Structure 1
Amino acid sequence: MPALNSWLDTPLGQHVLAREQAYFDQAVADVFGYHAVQFGLPDQPLLRENRMPWRCRAGESGAVDVTCDPAALPFASQSLDLLLLPHVLDFTSHPHQVLREAERVLVPEGRLMVTGFNPISLWGLARRCKPRDVMPWRANFIAPGRLKDWMQLLGLEPADCQHLCYAPPFEREAWRARWGFMERLGARWWPLAGGVYAISAVKRVRGMRLLAPRWSLLTPAPLAGVAARPAGQRGAVSPSLNPKAPSMKQTE
């Protein structure tokens, strides 16, 4: 993550960061609750448009409020209403454990927002030609479809997926400017081929509701033509008052 923060200061990194900041500004504005945490990219105010009373920046290093490992978050279970993980899964060796921790700390119906580099894009194609020890090509590049499957296994239901950065990842601004039309047309013509994806998921908790028995269905119905005997009365059952019922005569 420190190497990622350094790369974000480059022109290409600023290009990515500007689009992610615009995404988070819109995505977090309508998420309500009490506690929100941003893990990673501590220099970026990704929660600035959110209105929760308690907001925190966490990370492994840097100017953060809480220093911790994303695979072992120091928050109580079911205590956070919103958790942001910008490119955290891209640069961890334990992405499954990070997702388990995210599911643990979120309240039911809590929101998780993840960004990552998309292997099914021009960025993923460029990664095959770049040295893997250079940022950002050393990232995991987890496919969004696979990440959604991981989330669903943990009860995190993907609610929205957006793609950003459709232009080729040129380092020079002049070259990116020539391909700027792809940023404008990408969402329409090749919506799943953005170099960066952003997934928003909701924690679902399957509840159990007890159903009371319908005792009226279990009570035996009275016999046709015979009135029910009052409780506590002994003797023969009274005949029905239905005039069509046959009369009961005493035999001699």
Structure 2
Amino acid sequence: MSTNAIKPQQWQDLPNGSWLQEAVEDKLASWWPKVFGYHLLSMGPLSASLEKPNLPIGREFSMVQQGDASLIGSYCNLPVQNGVIDAAVCSLLLDFELDPYRVLRETDRVLISGGYLFIIGFNPLSPAFIGKLLPKYQEQLPWCGRFFTPARVKDWLGLLGYQVIGDERLVYHHLLSNIYDESIWQHALQAWLPGSGSLYIIVARKLDTPLTPILDKQRVRRPNWSTAPTAGRTGHLRSHANKKEII
């Protein structure tokens, strides 16, 4: 996929976009009051358009590659100083970037220690993946993008030293037709295969110290000393042996 590939500029560019936006906003509503700080960075136009009620953040910056936003530039080279952002939101962004891990590394650079990172993406282990198998939809949004498994995204976060504190799925639908209301089979899919939601939301925090496994210190091998007999006991044994020889 090239960097010139089609990318969603608003939720309505996606099938059932308004439904997806509402579902994401509903899931994130309980997280916003937990985020404290001065600056929040919304990366991509979809992140900026999310409603963020009860967010105790002083100022929100929006970042896009082109268009109307607080910041204009590349997601791989953010025009932001190191460690000044308290929280960042990447909504349906990594799926359409050529180097998603580099985007995460750059986001990590600008986040403070303990900062929050919200990632929303399309789940390949879901009914939404059907569209990628059908030639009719392969060049359309969102199937023209790459779907990364939540496990892979969490592996990237682990390499960067993040602790995942939230991992949820939502929208149990293939998105190939309009969603008018949640059906019985959607409820059944959610009950029996809870990990098969078409969207995932991962919430992570940047740790002060990365979760790097520490090898146990090598134990000092103690010499295998044998118990030496005391001088008095040795003399007593020799004296007893001499008496036997005399007898």
**TM-score with structure 2 setting the length:** 0.75
State the partner residue of 1:4: 8
Alpha-carbon deviations, 1:13-61, whole Å to 9, x = none? 2221111122233222221111111111266134343121121111112
The residue identity in structure 2 corresponding to 1:12 is N
2:108 to 103, 110, 119: 103
Measure how far apart 1:119 and its partner are: 0.3
Structure 1 stretch displaced more, 21-30 or 78-87: 21-30
- Among 60, 76, 79, which residue is 2:81 paired with? 76
Name which of 94, 117, 134 aligns with 2:140. 134
What CA distance in whole angstroms lies between the structure 2 residues aligned with 1:136 and 1:10?
Answer: 6
Please list every run of 5 or more consecutive structure 1 residues that lacks an aligned counterpart in the other structure.
Answer: 208-252
Letter in 1 for 2:88: L
CA drift of 1:125 comes to: 2.6
Q: State the shift of 1:183 in Å.
A: 4.5
Q: Output the amino acid matched with 1:125.
A: I
Range with bigger deviation, 32-41 or 89-98 = 32-41
Name 1:230's counterpart in structure 2. none
Cα distance 1:111–1:190, how it changes in 2: closer, same or farther (>3 A)?
same
Q: Equivalent of 1:38, from 38, 42, 47?
A: 42
Residue number in structure 1 paired with 2:192: 189
Residue 206 of structure 1 is matched in structure 2 by 209
Which residue of 148, 163, 166 maps to 2:172? Answer: 166
Aligned to 1:180: 183
SS of 1:8's equivalent? helix
Tell me, yes or no, if the aligned pair for 2:38 and 2:85 is still in contact at 8 Å. yes
The structure-2 alpha-carbon separation of the partners of 1:105 and 1:6, relative to structure 1 and needing over 3 Å to count, comes to closer
1:90 aligns with 2:91: no
Amino acid in structure 1 at the alignment position of 2:144: R
Q: Which stretch shifts more, 62-71 or 146-155?
A: 62-71
Residues 28 and 49 in structure 1, CA contact (< 8 A), matched pair in contact too:
yes
* Superposition RMSD in Å: 2.2
Structure 2 residue identity aligned to 1:86: S
- Which structure's relative contact order is higher, taking Cα pairs within 8 Å and 6+ residues apart? 2
Q: How many angstroms apart in 2 are the aligned matches of 1:139 and 1:155? A: 27
How far did residue 184 of structure 1 move? 4.1
What SS is found at the alignment partner of 2:176?
coil
Residue ranges of structure 2 left out of the alignment (5+ in a row)? 211-247
Residue 165 to residue 145, structure 1, CA distance change in 2 (3 Å): same
* Higher relative helix content: 2
Q: Deviations over 1:142-193 (max 9, x none)?
A: 01001100110011221111101102313234xx54x523454544321100
Equivalent position of 1:62 in the other structure:
67
Contact preservation (8 Å) 2:40, 2:57 = yes
Map of 1:216 onto structure 2: none
Distance 2:49 2:186 in 1: 22
Find the counterpart in structure 1 of residue 17 from structure 2. 13
What is the percent sequence identity of the aligned residues?
26
User: Which residue of the other structure, out of 119, 128, 132, is the alignment partner of 1:123?
Assistant: 128
Asked which structure has the greater CA Rg, the reply is: 1
Is the Cα–Cα contact under 8 Å of residues 167 and 182 in structure 1 kept in the other structure?
A: no
